[in-house]
Amino acid sequence: RDEFEIFAQQLSGKSRYSSLELMEAMYSLAQAGYQQEDIFKILPATLELATAQNYDLEESTRIIVSSMSAYGSKINEVSRYTNAFAAANSASQLSMEDMGYAIKYMNPTLSALGMTIEQGLAMVAVLRDIGYKGEGAGRVIRDMFNDMVATTPKATAILREHGLQIYKNQEE
């Protein structure tokens, strides 16, 4: 038996997830380019989150890993991310599904602006509590910040030099 199988069996004995579900989550991490050492660090934290949120393990792992990637975080920060998602869930009406949809839209913009996952999830939580579902909340956050970032004349000139424009109605 290989180390992955042994690890999956050890974790499944302590959780509601089967060895097969754990192996599938590990396979997804390996497909994403993570090495064994990293997989063995990530999975226990995402397993704890998935269990606490009663959510799919593989999807919980994907949500955490994609968020970490978007913000350029290191593997040793996985607990920070799982804690942020758990806190957002318990402080609002957010579900893991809502957060999974929201991050697709907000993470690239917020990380480019130097904001944190905690700040993004706090905004999503507020929007969820006033009726926005995950995807809608993520789009509102993305669009709000994109609209606030004004294009400078210098940037516009450089884009024009290359035959590009930001808005369709941008002056020629």
Q: What is the pLDDT of residues 147-157, one digit of tens each?
A: 777 677 777 77
Record the tokens describing residue 38, joined without a space.
Answer: 């990293």
Checking 117-120 for CB contacts under 8 A at 24+ apart, the result is 117/67, 117/71, 117/81, 117/84, 118/84, 118/87
**The amino acid at 31:** Q
CB 94, CB 87: distance < 8 Å: no
CB 94, CB 125: distance < 8 Å: yes
**The amino acid at 66:** S
Q: What is the pLDDT of residues 22-76, one digit of tens each?
A: 999 999 899 889 999 999 999 999 999 999 999 999 999 999 999 999 999 999 9
Q: What is the pLDDT of residues 95-144, one digit of tens each?
A: 999 999 999 999 999 998 889 999 999 999 999 999 999 899 999 999 98
Tally of CB atoms within 10 A around 171: 7
- Tell if the pTM clears 0.75, that is, is over it: yes
